Amino acid sequence: MCGITGFTGYTLALPILMQGLEKLEYRGYDSAGVTLADDIGLVTLKAKGRLSELRSILDESELLQMTGIGHTRWATHGVPNNLNAHPHTNKRNTISLVHNGIIENYMSLKQMLENFDYDFKSETDSEVIVHLIDFYYRQCLDMETAFKKAVGDLEGSYGICVVSRHSPNKIFVARKESPMILGIGKEGSFCASDVPALLEYTRQLISLNDGDTAILEPDKITVFDAEGKEKPIEWMDSPYDMQSAQKGGYDTFMEKEIHEQPQTIKETLRGRLSGRKIVLPELDDIRDNLKNINSVIWIACGTAYHACVYGQMILNKHVPINSIAVPASEFRYGNYHVDRNTLCIFVSQSGETADTLAAIKMAKERGALTIAVANVLGSSLTRLADTTIYTCAGLEIAVASTKAYTAQLVLLYMLASKLSEIMGYSISEHQEIITNLRQLSNMTQQFLECCKPVVKEYAQMMKDERDVYFIGRQLDYVSAMEGALKLKEISYIHADAYYAGELKHGPIALIQYQKIVVAFATQPEVSAKTISNIKETVARGARVILITDKDTKADGFSYIIRLPQIHPELSCITSAIVFQLLAYYAAVERGCDVDKPRNLAKSVTVE
């Protein structure tokens, strides 16, 4: 959500800011703007809508400044329009600011500033920050002091970049609970809210810590801690390259990322299987604490929450311990019993989801042991957890999560299995599963290629539907939930998931002639029951797309996809390939913008 870019250096800033904003488009936005700075003054241009609208009002031959900031805004406080779009400037047009996050005390700050005759043009919380900096600047006539004082007054979350006519080749940066990456290269100094914006110029990066501020100058970056003391910078070499931020011959990032899964599964397993054992050294330091755990709560949002339901079910299959999965947005307000004998596992692709971060803080306050399962190196979640286990899915750019989800399933299987071992329980059929994990990458590669034509055909059949129903039991219910989410978020076809056994308790009233039901039946202990539930829908005229294993008896189905032979505890991973492709092809057929579905953002950094 919301994208920030900033540059100060030895070459034109505008092209760098615009290409950075393009690279961040995937995060979702509804207006955009830039400010360019030099000692003559500030030029700010903004437009509602896509970046092309902003481009159409930029006269590149006139905008030759070498310092600037840019922003793509996803509306939270105030509708998307030019006034609410960032950057925001002070009245005298000497200071300009872009901000991601939410300023919780903006009302009281606004009242204070109004008492000093400050006028507000927008409905945003962000505008208060620029006036606050102006307020302090008038007192001390020093931008660095004014910026730090203003940041010190803010409550809430923020990633902030400021340029000013008073210090025209500097960018002032602050971060709290909203990502901010800084980079230095031969053209100058850069900042952005996410790595893809910087990869074309440098791979020497740092992620600013919570509470830190920084000053960017063309030849150097200086970082300060919350007390204002200068800190040494430990540059890291970005694990990503430009290729990972490009489509590489595919039409969309989502298509590319679906096809990357054999590789990302392999990467996630790399070094974690040794002989007949699963190896997770990340648990070594908390091993003793794990022995005292008497309940486990799996917490996340959206797709990552579905992965949590999978993790919880796998653990429950093997360990008689209280284990539940809870959406992060609910966890905070439900009265869940959490104490020092509770293990809370937080799963997040971005590691920046506001609800998940708020949930981990609450769990820690109550003394819980915490594990993060995250994809983004050094993200906020990983800084808060007692230990982090990384999925190795690489940069995921499409808003709809695909490769991160299957990497989460693989890792959560290993985590649940390792927890069982540490808690003194053995996993039945463990060896068969280890063998399957070793085969998983090749298996998904072959399956992906061979199932595409038939999935495409079924997606074609689905494209004009208003509603589609996804059903399954046990682990197949996880696939039903995630399959329904994928379809609705990118194709806008209404889709819901039901436990197959619950159909006759209500939802079957919706099943009419020719309705489409996507059914999963891969769990031997319940497959026969699921098949008879499906037959009830067939009897009412439904067209059922059945996704099942090689052995389940399923005669008389017109639309059927047989998954490769795999242990049922891992079949959620192969099922995912099918429903991701189904949603993808259906969305393409309907002409949807697959990578950037409406109203959605890649990383939801507001609650």
Indicate the residue among 327 and 568 with the shorter CB distance to ligand F6R: 327
User: Is 349 one of the binding residues for ligand F6R (CB under 6 A)?
Assistant: yes
Q: How far is the CB of 376 from ligand F6R (least distance, A)?
A: 8
303 binds ligand F6R (CB under 6 A): yes
Binding flag, residue 604, ligand F6R (CB under 6 A): yes
Min separation Cβ 299 and ligand F6R, Å: 10
**Tally of CA atoms within 13 A in the half-sphere of 414 that contains its CB:** 30
Least distance CB 604 / ligand F6R (angstroms): 5
The residues in 397-416 that bind ligand F6R, with binding defined as CB under 6 A, are 400-401
3-state secondary structure of 188: strand
Token look-up 């079924």 returns 458
379 touches ligand F6R by CB under 6 A: no
Closest approach, Cβ 304 to ligand F6R, in A, equals: 4
Which residue bears the tokens 């819980």?
368
| Strand partners of residue 181 | 192, 207
Dihedral of CA 352/355/359/362: which sign? positive
Number of residues that bind ligand F6R (CB under 6 A): 15
In this chain, which of 350, 522, 533, 537 binds ligand F6R, going by CB under 6 A?
Answer: 350
Contacting range for ligand F6R; rule: CB under 6 A; set: 15-23, 76-84, 237-245, 349-357: 349-357
Q: Please, what is the minimum distance in Å from the beta carbon of residue 240 to ligand F6R?
A: 16
> Is there binding between residue 580 and ligand F6R (CB under 6 A)?
no
Decide: is 257 part of the binding site for ligand F6R (CB under 6 A).
Answer: no
Report how far residue 407's alpha carbon sits from residue 122's, in angstroms, rounded to the nearest whole number: 42
Shorter beta-carbon distance to ligand F6R: residue 238 or 603: 603
Nearer of residues 351 and 507 to ligand F6R, judged by Cβ? 351
- State yes or no: is 602 an active-site residue: yes
Q: At what angle do helices 475-491 and 302-318 cross, to 10 degrees?
A: 170
**Among 20, 68, 101, 302, interactor with ligand F6R by CB under 6 A:** 302
Q: Which of 90, 356, 417, 491 binds ligand F6R (CB under 6 A)?
A: 356
Q: Is 496 exposed, middle or buried (0-12, 13-18, 19+ CB in 10 A)?
A: middle
Q: Are 51 and 5 contacting, i.e. CB atoms less than 8 angstroms apart?
A: no
Side-by-side strand order, sheet with 516-521: 494-499, 467-472, 516-521, 543-548, 559-562
Q: Is 603 in the site for ligand F6R (CB under 6 A)?
A: yes
Q: Tell me whether the omega of the peptide bond preceding residue 87 falls within 30 degrees of 0, making it cis.
A: yes
Q: What is the C-alpha R_g of the chain?
A: 25
Q: Which residue is nearest to ligand F6R (CB)?
A: 302
Catalogue the E-assigned strands of 2-80. Answer: 3-9, 31-38, 41-48, 67-73
Q: Which of 348, 474, 530, 605 binds ligand F6R (CB under 6 A)?
A: 348
H runs (alpha helix) in 423-499 = 430-462, 475-491
Residue 604, helix vs strand vs coil: coil
Choices 76-84, 122-130, 218-226, 300-308 (CB under 6 A): range interacting with ligand F6R = 300-308
d(CA 321, CA 319): 6
- Cβ atoms of 182 and 190 closer than 8 Å: yes
- Closer CB to ligand F6R, 190 or 405, in the complex: 405
Give, in order, the Cα–Cα distances in Å from 167 to each of 87, 172, 208.
Answer: 17, 10, 22
User: 2, 344, 572, 592: which is the annotated catalytic residue?
Assistant: 2
- The stretch among 41-49, 295-303, 316-324, 572-580 that binds ligand F6R (CB under 6 A) is 295-303
Residue closer to ligand F6R, measured from CB, 97 or 604? 604
CA distances from 473 to 77, 506, 528 (A): 41, 16, 11
- Of the candidate residues 32, 161, 286, 301, the single one contacting ligand F6R (CB under 6 A): 301
Q: Which is nearer to ligand F6R, 95 or 411 (CB)?
A: 411
Q: Scanning residues 480 to 509, which ones bind ligand F6R (CB under 6 A)?
A: 485, 489
> Contact region for ligand F6R (CB under 6 A) — 24-32, 207-215, 299-307, 548-556?
299-307
Q: Is 304 in the site for ligand F6R (CB under 6 A)?
A: yes
Longest dimension (CA), the chain: 81
Residues whose CB falls within 8 Å of the CB of residue 164, separated by 6 or more in sequence, listed in order? 37, 42, 94, 95, 96, 137, 143, 170, 172
Report how far apart the first and last C-alpha atoms of the chain are (Å, whole number): 12
Nearer to ligand F6R, 134 or 489 (CB): 489
> How many C-beta neighbours within 10 Å does residue 249 have?
8
Question: What's the min distance (Å) between Cβ of 602 and ligand F6R?
Answer: 7
Which of 526, 565, 530 lies closest to 546, judged by CA?
Answer: 530
Candidates 265-273, 342-350, 534-542, 563-571: pick the segment binding ligand F6R (CB under 6 A). Answer: 342-350
Q: CB-wise, 14 or 485, nearer to ligand F6R? A: 485
Whether the CB-CB separation of 300 and 307 falls below 8 Å is answered with: yes
Q: Which stretch binds ligand F6R (CB under 6 A): 151-159, 289-297, 350-358, 362-370?
A: 350-358
Answer whether 88's CB lies under 8 Å from 127's CB.
Answer: yes
Residue (252 or 356) nearer to ligand F6R, CB = 356
**Comparison of 349 and 527: residue with beta carbon closer to ligand F6R:** 349
Active site residue ranges? 2, 602
Chain contacts with ligand F6R (rule: CB under 6 A): 301-304, 348-350, 353, 356, 400-401, 485, 489, 603-604
